[in-house]
């Protein structure tokens, strides 16, 4: 196995965008996912959009980012020379519309296309986040990841949506939350990662493991040592 170092573009902090730490986390998850089809829900000033495109380019990942936002935002960022360059190279496609309807339309227009990576950082309310996760989940690749931003007390709708979705769909969830001190320094993280479970909880496996544990516990009891064990000798 040949180890390939992950390369990062210049890490830029910008108000309302991901922190430098979060961008590094983001890059690792893109690599883990395979990074073929990527979705970004919520552009804002396209700072993270540029980071993802640069990351794909310098790490020679042959992926494409589909970035969603309302028409006004898409029109605004499309005038950026860097954004235009990424579109020209085929690394980026901007998708104007209102989420989650624009996402639903995209999925309908790309039948059978598995989604490898999603950054959900659009409307921070329960109906939007939950609705977007429901749309993405059937198309999420087996090795794919969904990262939701602002999984924090400041945005209870995001927290509730992610928690409810995780419980209802039996998803694996890993919150990547930092201490208040780190957050205050602007280097923290309020990301949470979701993915499909790699191993199913088969009933036969559960019974086998529970029986093994029961035997271990029984072996330590007075009943086994003084009564049952002498009987089976």
The chain-wide mean pLDDT, for the chain, equals 88
Domain boundaries, given as residue ranges, for the chain: 20-195, 203-232
pLDDT at 1: 44
Per residue in 210-221, pLDDT (tens digit) is: 766 666 666 667
Residue of higher predicted confidence among 28 and 232:
28
Mean pLDDT of the region 56-81: 96
pLDDT beyond 60 at 228: no
Cβ atoms of 48 and 40 closer than 8 Å: yes
Spatial separation of the C-alpha atoms in residues 116 and 126, rounded to whole Å: 23
pLDDT at 12: 77
Structure tokens at 154: 């400041």
Per residue in 1-39, pLDDT (tens digit) is: 455 789 999 887 777 789 999 999 999 999 999 989 999
Spatial separation of the C-alpha atoms in residues 151 and 72, rounded to whole Å: 26
pLDDT beyond 60 at 45: yes
Per residue in 192-208, pLDDT (tens digit) is: 999 998 866 666 666 77
User: How does DSSP classify residue 138?
Assistant: G
Spatial separation of the C-alpha atoms in residues 109 and 11, rounded to whole Å: 34
pLDDT band at 97; cut points 50, 70, 90: very high
177 beta partners: 190
Spatial separation of the C-alpha atoms in residues 52 and 40, rounded to whole Å: 9
pLDDT at 203: 60
93 beta partners: 66
Please name the CATH architecture into which domain 20-195 falls.
Answer: 3-Layer(aba) Sandwich (3.40)
SS3 146: strand
Mean pLDDT of the region 69-73: 96
Exposed e or buried b per residue across 178-205, where buried means at least 16 C-beta atoms within 10 angstroms of its C-beta: beeeeeeeeebbbbbbbbbeeeeeeeee
pLDDT at 224: 53
Give percent of the chain above pLDDT 70. 83
Mean pLDDT of the region 43-55: 94
């Amino acid at each position: 196995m040949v180890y390939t170092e992950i390369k990062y573009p210049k890490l830029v902090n910008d108000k309302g965008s991901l922190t430098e730490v979060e961008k590094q986390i983001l890059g690792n998850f893109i690599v883990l996912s395979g990074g073929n089809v990527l979705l970004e829900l919520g552009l804002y000033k396209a700072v993270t959009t540029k980071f993802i495109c640069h990351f794909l380019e310098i790490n020679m990942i042959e992926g494409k980012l589909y970035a969603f936002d309302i028409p006004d935002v898409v029109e605004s960022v499309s005038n950026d020379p860097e954004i235009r360059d990424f579109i020209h190279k085929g690394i980026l496609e901007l998708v104007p519309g209102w989420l989650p309807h624009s996402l639903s339309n995209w999925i309908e227009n790309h039948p059978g296309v598995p989604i490898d990576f999603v950054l959900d950082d659009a409307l921070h309310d329960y109906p939007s986040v939950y609705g977007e996760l429901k749309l993405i989940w059937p198309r999420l690749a087996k090795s794919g990841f969904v990262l939701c931003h602002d999984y924090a007390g400041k945005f209870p709708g995001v927290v509730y949506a992610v928690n409810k979705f995780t419980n209802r769909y039996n998803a694996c969830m890993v919150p990547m939350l930092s201490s208040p001190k780190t957050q205050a320094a602007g280097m923290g993280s309020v990301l949470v990662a979701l993915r499909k479970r790699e191993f199913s909880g088969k009933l036969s496996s559960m019974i086998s493991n529970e029986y093994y544990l029961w035997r271990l516990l029984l072996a330590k009891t007075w009943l086994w040592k003084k009564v049952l064990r002498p009987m089976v000798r």
